[in-house]
Structure 1
Amino acid sequence: MPEHRGLARYLRAEGIAVTEVGRPKRQRRARYGKSDDTDAAGAAAIVLAGEALGDPKSADGAAEMVRVLRVARTSAVRARAKAYTALQDLLVTAPAALREQLAGLYKKRLIQACKQLSESETPSSPTDAITMAIKSLAARCEQLDVEAARLKHHIDTITATAAPQLRAVYGVGPDTAATLLAAIGDNHDRITSDGAFAKLCGVSPLQASSGKTVRHRLNRGGNRDANRALHVILVVRLRRHQPTRDYMARRLAEGKTKNEVMRCLKRYLAREIFHALQPSRKATKIVA
């Protein structure tokens, strides 16, 4: 949570060691109840048992920069979508003459046409009011477009400068690079292996074996934004990256389902991205 991130930053600045601990399990809360004292004792027991999550994100570099910029850009994009939807809804109930004037226009052309509508300073009829509302929403859409584009430019510049190896991975763009950087944090050394990074992204298969049956199941945990970023990268690769397309075709011919192959590809991709995020380590090129 934001307040915990600020507290961790302050404690590190004071020279105090900080360790990240997951939230208490439901079974423990059902047995001991919920209070600050029991939560603190439970967290201490987890740390002493060596089961803590590790070091928290330092939040003092490029990863934190792109994280907060993505928050602002996502908010702008969502607000723009809501404003455009409201604009379209108003056009449905607008007077026939106004609808005909704007018929056949979509997106940017519609926004520009709406901005050029003539309006009175003080609405004196429903037509005047809806014209004013449409112009207001169109201006808002344009303003939010400019804001989102400006933030995207900064995200692009920061990711290209801070993580050129990551941006060089096939299919990785500014948004997916920012998502992955924010997931791993500025202190990359807290993720010690590609397996740990795969678990962070929710692409490490979990053991589900019993008796003589040996199998794995899908990991539905991890950072879901990072998992989505890996999925977006794979969608791009399956369209244009021939080695990935060949791998998909080969595994499908072996009887695997598309979802199963995608899980395998995500695991390979997590390994490649982990090494791209660790410039001090020997890079490993993954065919997929």
Structure 2
Amino acid sequence: MVMITIGVDPHRKVFTASVLDESRRDLDHQHFVNTEKGHADALVWAQSIGSINKIGIEGASGLGRTLAEFLVDRGLDVRDVPPHKTAQRQRGRHEGKSDRLDAHRVAAETQTNDRLAHAFKNSTTAAPNAVRDQIALWHNARISLRKIRVQLIGELDALIQDLPERIRVRLPERTTARARITAVAALGHVRSTDPVQQLRLKLIHHRTKMLKDVLEQDKVAAAELAKLVAASGSTLPSIPGIAARSAAEIILEVGDPRRFTEAGFARFNGTAPIPVSSGEGGGRPRRYRLSRGGNRRLNAAIHRAATTQLRCEPRARELYEGALSRGHTRREAMRILKRHLSNTIHRTMIRDAKQDHLLT
């Protein structure tokens, strides 16, 4: 029986599947409803064409999540194809865009790219991790709360700035917006006969209550994330500079660390240098530059940890100063420290994964 690779372009109500053989020929395509019955019909259709090698789903943790779970439960090799991968295949070919073309590009990427992650960021075919999914929900909630907080603080700062001078002179000068908001709340009920000022004071009172509620929700989310990090068995918070909330973000972005080598993890998070040398023949490259690629959220978490370590961790300071003494720039020295921290994080997560495997 012919070995086939399937690419899936999912949407909320329907999904399109395209089938390629080993010679990358397009054998067939079909549209299905994005329900459990549609998933079963698609599997029967695909198995009638050939033996399934791999199935690539664009956004296997998004719109294609239910289909990915259905297929993983049946032991099939499901890969998560990032949307930008199919965009790269489309670029310069002037083929246009349709569900069929997108599904074909997903199948082609799945067939040619052996480094595509398994569904749900696992190292092998496996169901979603329940703790990681809960971390994702709380982490996304914190992101939303942070956006609301920033918006409320901006609105309150503008409202306070427009208050009458007789009120503003009672507030602290040259301080943060949060301090000004707290000072206005401490004034209590302020009277005014001007209807515009009355409305402004009313809005300040209302927005201040909203901000207080958002801050309380953020505290709850932070506490829940700390509990989930502990429940996951992660020891990342033991690394200086990595708090429970940063550990949660790292766990979420990395998934199963066993899908990376140490060097591969550095490339994934953007701490590995990129060679920009020429004319070295068979020797090693003599020039490198900083990587601007990789997972920028993970890179930012590592950068925050490195910055914290420079303030309070003697070994990090020694590594940084040693790089400067060897002629590296400050930016290169920071990259060296971040790469060292990347290796430490990877080894810690691998050790945690092995320990978790032994316990289960």
For this structure pair, what is the TM-score category when the shorter chain's length is used for normalisation? 0.7 to 0.9
**Contact 1:20–1:52 under 8 Å retained in 2:** no
Shift of 1:10: 3.5
Provide the residue aligned with 1:272 in structure 2: 344
Letter in 1 for 2:271: V
Distance 1:230 1:274 in 2: 11
Distance 1:220 1:88 in 2: 35
When residues 32 and 11 of structure 1 are mapped into structure 2, their CA distance, relative to the original with a 3 A threshold, is: farther
CA distances 1:230-269 after superposition (whole Å, capped 9, x unpaired): 0000001100110110111111011100111111121111
The answer for the alignment partner of 1:155 in structure 2 is 225
Contact 1:234–1:266 (CA under 8 A) maintained in structure 2: yes
Looking at secondary structure, tell me which structure has more strand per residue.
2
1:196 & 1:243 partners in 2: Cα distance? 25
Change (3 A) 1:281 1:73: closer
Report the equivalent of 1:40: 103
Give the 3 Å change call, closer, same or farther, for CA 85–54 of structure 1 in structure 2: closer
Segments of structure 1 that go 5 or more residues without pairing to the other structure are 284-288
Are the equivalent residues in 2 in contact too, given 1:251–1:261 (CA < 8 A)? yes
Answer yes or no: is 1:171 the counterpart of 2:241: yes
103 and 255 in structure 1: CA distance in 2 versus 1, 3 angstrom threshold:
closer
Structure 1 partner of 2:307: 235
User: 1:4, 1:267 → 2: CA distance?
Assistant: 34
Q: How does 1:221-232 map to 2 (within 5 A)?
A: 221-232=293-304
Specify which of 117, 140, 155 is matched with residue 210 of structure 2. 140
CA distance in 1, matches of 2:104, 2:131: 34
- Whole-angstrom distance in 1 between the partners of 2:107 and 2:351: 34
Q: Distance in 2 between matches of 1:188 and 1:282?
A: 10
Match of 1:125 in 2: 195
- Equivalent residue number for residue 280 of structure 2: 212
In structure 2, how many angstroms separate the alpha carbons of the residues matched to 1:83 and 1:154? 24
Choose 171-180 or 272-281, whichever is displaced more.
Answer: 272-281
Residue by residue over 1:76-130, the C-alpha shift from the partner in whole angstroms, topping out at 9 and shown as x without a partner, is 122112212211211111123332344458636743742763379xx97222211
The residue that corresponds to 1:88 in the other structure is 157
Q: Is the contact between residue 171 and residue 183 of structure 2 (CA under 8 Å) also seen in structure 1?
A: no
1:100 and 2:163 aligned: no
Of 136, 144, 160, the match for 1:75: 144
State which structure, 1 or 2, has the greater radius of gyration over its C-alpha atoms: 2
Shift of 1:138: 1.1
**2:218 partner amino acid:** A
**Aligned residues of 2:157 and 2:180 also touching (Cα < 8 A):** no
Residue 203 of structure 1 pairs with residue 271 of structure 2: yes
Taking structure 1 as reference, are residues 138 and 163 closer, same or farther at Cα in structure 2, changes over 3 Å only? same
Q: Aligned partners of 2:147 and 2:336: how far apart in 1?
A: 32
Deviation, 1:40, is: 3.0
Q: Deviations over 1:157-209 (max 9, x none)?
A: 21133144211112110221111101112x443x2311222122111223333
Measured in 2, the distance between the counterparts of 1:52 and 1:146 equals: 42
Aligned mates of 1:28, 1:130 — CA distance in 2: 52
Q: Which of these residues, 42, 55, 64, is aligned with residue 118 of structure 2? A: 55
Alignment partner of 1:20: what SS? strand
Shift of 1:27: 5.8
Could you tell me which residue of structure 2 aligns to residue 13 of structure 1? 73
| C-alpha contact 2:235 2:352 (8 A) present in aligned 1 | no
1:171, 1:234 within 8 Å by CA — same for their partners in 2? yes
What is the TM-score normalised by the length of structure 2?
0.69
CA offset digits 1:33-92 (Å, max 9, x no partner): 133333333333333335341313254332222222121112212211221221121111
Q: Which structure is higher in RCO with an 8 Å CA cutoff and minimum separation 6?
A: 1
In 2: Cα distance, 1:37 partner to 1:212 partner: 46
Q: Which has the higher helix share?
A: 1
- Structure 2: gaps of 5 or more residues: 1-58, 122-127, 356-360
1:281 Cα deviation after fit: 7.2
State the SS of the aligned residue for 1:94.
coil
Distance 1:45 1:133 in 2: 55
Q: What is aligned with 2:29?
A: none
RMSD of aligned C-alpha atoms? 2.8
Q: CA deviation at 1:140?
A: 1.2
Does the C-alpha gap of structure 1 residues 15 and 137 become closer, same or farther in structure 2, counting only changes over 3 Å? same
Whether the 8 Å CA contact 2:80–2:116 is kept in 1: the answer is yes
CA change 1:163–1:220 in 2 (3 A) is farther
Question: In the superposition, relative to structure 1, how do residues 3 and 203 fare at CA in structure 2: closer, same or farther (>3 Å)?
Answer: same
State the TM-score, normalizing by the size of structure 1: 0.85
Cα deviation, residue 18, structure 1: 0.4
